[in-house]
């Protein structure tokens, strides 16, 4: 699974999460997923699939969670925005979710990112 650590809050907490960003005006969900992942990691993706959504009260946004398949694997990280981006194995992610992987802290259960990561780790994908 491709996970990243953005500069700032995630970096300060040494926590990894799914890659994320905002949609541009006139952009489809699929285009936004492809663009954001490419911008932050250099990875091209295809077969973008909706998973779930989460309302976020501040600043009045809607988080839309998707899964996608990697079309490329070589990471070219955006060093201006990201502190780290890397691939993790299913075993690493399962241990991270269980809190037994000292190298992989993940988002808590209230975050949509947690549910996206859990679905991938448990092979429960749309």
Domain range for 69 is 2-87
Q: What CATH number did the domain enclosing 38 receive?
A: 3.90.79.10
Q: In DSSP terms, which residues pair with 17 in a beta bridge?
A: 4
Q: Is residue 12 part of a domain?
A: yes
Q: Does residue 80 lie within any of the structural domains?
A: yes
Tens-binned pLDDT, residue by residue, of the chain (126 aa):
999 999 998 888 889 999 999 999 999 999 999 999 999 999 999 999 999 999 988 888 999 999 999 999 999 999 999 999 999 999 999 999 999 999 999 999 999 999 999 999 999 876
Name the pTM for this structure: 0.93
For the chain, the domain total comes to 1
- Report which of 107, 105, 42, 31 is spatially closest to residue 66, judged by C-alpha positions: 31
């Amino acid at each position: 699974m491709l996970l990243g650590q953005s500069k700032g809050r995630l970096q300060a907490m040494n926590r990894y999460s799914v890659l994320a960003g905002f949609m541009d005006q006139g952009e489809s969900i699929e285009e936004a997923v492809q663009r954001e992942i490419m911008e932050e990691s250099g990875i091209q993706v295809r077969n973008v699939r909706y998973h779930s959504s989460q309302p976020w009260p501040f600043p009045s946004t809607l988080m839309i969670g998707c899964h996608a398949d990697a079309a490329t694997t070589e990471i070219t990280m955006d060093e201006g925005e990201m502190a780290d981006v890397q691939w993790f194995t299913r075993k690493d992610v399962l241990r991270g979710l269980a809190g037994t992987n000292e190298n992989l802290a993940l988002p808590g259960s209230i975050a949509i990112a947690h549910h996206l990561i859990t679905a991938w780790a448990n092979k429960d994908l749309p």
